[in-house]
Structure 1
Amino acid sequence: MITTPQLSNQTILEDDFVLLRPLLASDVENLLEISFNEPETWQYSLVRANGEQNLIHYIQLALKARENNTEFPFIVFDKKSGKYAGSTRFYDINLGFKTLQLGYTWYGKAFRGTGLNKHCKFLLLQFAFETLGVERVEFRADASNLRSIAAMKSIGCQVEGVMRSHMPTLGSAVRRDSIILSILKNEWFDGVKEQLKNKL
């Protein structure tokens, strides 16, 4: 487990609409319906969670990364419907440099476009900047994943550039370009926080 007292098995982020808690091995059951019925959710991911075995493997990798202190995965619970909506995480955590990335975010179809993502991002960014004290939160996406890029821009992310031929894509000889976006601590306090809060 990550040793900072702010990130532990007891770390829960929530508001009136959403709750994020640490991902558990037993959460396979909570995410299985999306895994079976919506395999396209992982179209842009190198690690797929479609189907029970892939989902088990996905969660095992996430939990191993948490043990290695490099990632902290959450499961997302939608309070309005009373259902589990998906998962997200902090990764590439470097508290010495006061940086981390926010990603591996996916939700079932029923939860997209509902405002759930903005509530999650507000809680995660608030925690990163105001509790963990990081100076920079980075986001990455496949440069062709326009839905994801639009979502990141809508919460206040600034585009920094594109890393060309950055990584492979699953089952294809084509390599992906990755777009890099970020929010800085001063940007969060100077307007991003209030703008995002007003969209909730």
Structure 2
Amino acid sequence: MGFLDVPVLQNDPALQTTPVRLEPLSRGHHDDLVAAVSDGELWRAWFTHVPSPDAMAAAIEAKLAQHRAGTTAPWAIVDPRTDRAVGMTTYLNIDAAHRRLEIGSTWIARSAQGTGINPAAKLLLLRRAFDDLGCIAVEFRTHWHNRQSRAAIAKLGAKQDGVLRNHRILDNGTVRDTVVFSIIDREWPTVRLALTERLRA
């Protein structure tokens, strides 16, 4: 199945492996996501853009609208042990002509961090991007000051492409330097093996 041969964003399937299930985002995930974002008060980190509990409904509606417009593909990150959503992740910046996309807008409840859920979710998203959609590159972007995110992206096997200086003006008035990482198609077999072995450990 080629990247240009399918409506990439309109019919995304649920994706599952042992530690995690990714379900196409829906309004039905709202209450779980409110509980998840409250676990650690994730929205309070000044260098991230995570919806607060009060803003969750609007955030879901915005993502569903973007999905209908064909610009993103959002998923709820579900812990199969509890069948509850513990976070969110999205395909962004879809560029079908150049067969590339970004995995981003990812956040996970504090108690679910370090459990294997995040790398397992990334493995599922990367498999779909490279093996099903035929991507030649997948990007990851994060704030320069988000050291936890930068370390997690590098641990996936992504390489740093560079830093976009003064890239975005945030709601709090600060200016974000955006660190850009990527995995390209010829690196994917090694990244896939490394992630698979990491999840077995």
Give the Å deviation of 1:171.
1.7
TM-score, length-scaled by structure 1: 0.90
2:154 match: 153
- The answer to whether structure 1 residue 188 and structure 2 residue 188 are counterparts is yes
Matched-pair contact (CA < 8 Å) for 1:90–1:102? yes
Shift of the 16–37 alpha-carbon distance from structure 1 to 2, 3 Å rule, reads closer
Give the Å deviation of 1:30.
2.0
The structure with higher relative contact order (CA 8 Å, sep 6+) is 2
Gaps of 5+ in 2: none
Give the Å deviation of 1:95.
1.7
Between 80-89 and 105-114, report the one with greater CA deviation: 80-89
1:198 match: 197
Shift of the 29–192 alpha-carbon distance from structure 1 to 2, 3 Å rule, reads same
1:94 match: 95
RMSD value, Cα: 1.7
SS of aligned partner of 2:150: helix
The AA in structure 2 aligned to 1:49 is P
The AA in structure 1 aligned to 2:23 is R
CA shift digits 1:166-200 (9 cap, x unpaired):
0012222x2010000000011002x1111111101
SS of aligned partner of 1:96: helix
Give the Å deviation of 1:41.
4.1
SS of aligned partner of 2:87: strand
2:37 match: 35
Give the Å deviation of 1:96.
1.9
The AA in structure 1 aligned to 2:24 is P
1:176 match: 176
SS of aligned partner of 1:45: coil
Cα distance between partner residues in 2 of 1:29 and 1:9 = 24
Matched-pair contact (CA < 8 Å) for 1:158–1:182? yes
Shift of the 42–140 alpha-carbon distance from structure 1 to 2, 3 Å rule, reads farther
Gaps of 5+ in 1: none
Cα distance between partner residues in 2 of 1:145 and 1:45 = 8
CA shift digits 1:87-146 (9 cap, x unpaired):
001011122210100010000011001111010000100110000001000010001100
1:132 match: 133
Cα distance between partner residues in 1 of 2:158 and 2:43 = 22
**Structure 1 runs, 4 residues or longer, greater than 3 Å off:** 5-10, 35-38
SS of aligned partner of 1:19: strand
CA shift digits 1:134-167 (9 cap, x unpaired):
1000010001100000000011000011010100
Between 151-160 and 8-17, report the one with greater CA deviation: 8-17
Matched-pair contact (CA < 8 Å) for 2:37–2:108? no
How many residue pairs align between the two structures?
Answer: 194
Between 55-64 and 142-151, report the one with greater CA deviation: 55-64
